[in-house]
Amino acid sequence: MQISHTLSDGLSICLHIVRRAKKNIILRPMHGNQISLSIPPKLNEKQLRYWLQTNEKVLRNILKRNLAETPPENNIPQKIWYRGISHDVRSHNKPYIEIAENHIFLPEKEQEQQKAHLLRFLRTQAENILLPRLQTHAEQLELFPAAIALSNAKTFWGVCRTQSGIRLNYRLIGAPDFVIDYVCIHELCHLVHPNHSKQFWAAVNLYTPHTINAKTWLKQHGKELFILE
């Protein structure tokens, strides 16, 4: 049996469930965003969902192991998300990256060089777009983190720490603006509510009407933002 589970930041994972005559839940890494779970025969879905919600840290640790064991590929994908639009990837004879009519044109190079060029481009765009957007929300909400920066996290869209500030996953440059805004507001609200309590979600929903749509988009397309990994 397979079920999907969405982590608190909208990241969707696939769980392969097997019932065995044991009292404990046993997790095993698979690959990518997939995890194998052996569960007791009498554990119902409501109990399983509660366990998943209260053991998110364990799930994230398994995901990190999956990613560490996945060999990197240098292939350039045929499509890539940028600013909420799926773009066709093509090559051209210019020395720079160009975006036009739902296409991303890369300089004609070896695929490994094209990939490195594209990653630099996306990270630069993320720095120029995501961080100012986060700063704007911080000023509007009058919630100011100690610092703001980008991250290369494999299991978080954003993270908030009182001392180190807020870091946004640079891959969010592929998401629509309403998703970016949701993640920014989500992390800023953690400055007041360092948890996922009812009060936290009430604060998030006070500042953005897009919580459900953003989490749905990330659940449907979040894995595709990691296509260059």
Q: Are residues 141 and 165 in the same domain?
A: yes
User: Which CATH number fits the domain that encloses residue 97?
Assistant: 3.30.2010.10
Total domain count, the chain: 2
Is 49 part of any domain? yes
Among 68, 94, 113, give the residue marking a domain's end: 68
* Same-domain pairing of 99 and 130: yes
Whether 53 and 86 map to the same domain: the answer is no
144 shares a domain with 168: yes
Q: What is the pLDDT of residues 195-223, one digit of tens each?
A: 999 999 999 999 999 999 999 999 999 99
Measured distance CA(76)–CA(143) in Å, rounded: 39
Instruction: With a cut of 60, say whether residue 74 has pLDDT above it.
Output: no
When pLDDT is averaged across residues 15-20 and rounded to a whole number, the result is 88
Nearest partner of 32 among 51, 57, 11, 18, judged by Cα: 11
C-alpha closest to that of 47 among 61, 36, 37: 37
Q: Tell whether 89 is covered by a domain.
A: yes
Instruction: Look at residue 74 and tell me if it is in a domain.
Output: no
Residues 136, 89, single domain; the answer is: yes
Q: Which of 14, 43, 68 is the last residue of a domain?
A: 68
pLDDT at 48: 92
Same-domain status, 60 and 114? no
* 85-92/79-82 β-pairing: antiparallel
User: In 3D, which of 208, 127, 163, 183 has the Cα closest to residue 7?
Assistant: 183
Q: Residue 8: pLDDT above 90?
A: no
Q: What is the share, in percent, of the chain residues with pLDDT greater than 90?
A: 65
Same domain, 62 and 161: no
In terms of pLDDT, which residue wins out, 11 or 57? 57
* Same-domain status, 10 and 96: no
* pLDDT of 69: 59
Would 40 be classed as within a structural domain? yes
| Same domain, yes or no: 64 and 83 | no
Query: Is residue 73 situated within a structural domain?
Result: no
Same structural domain, 84 and 125: yes
**Residue at which a domain ends, from 14, 42, 68:** 68
Query: 113 and 197 share a domain?
Result: yes
Domain span holding position 13:
2-68
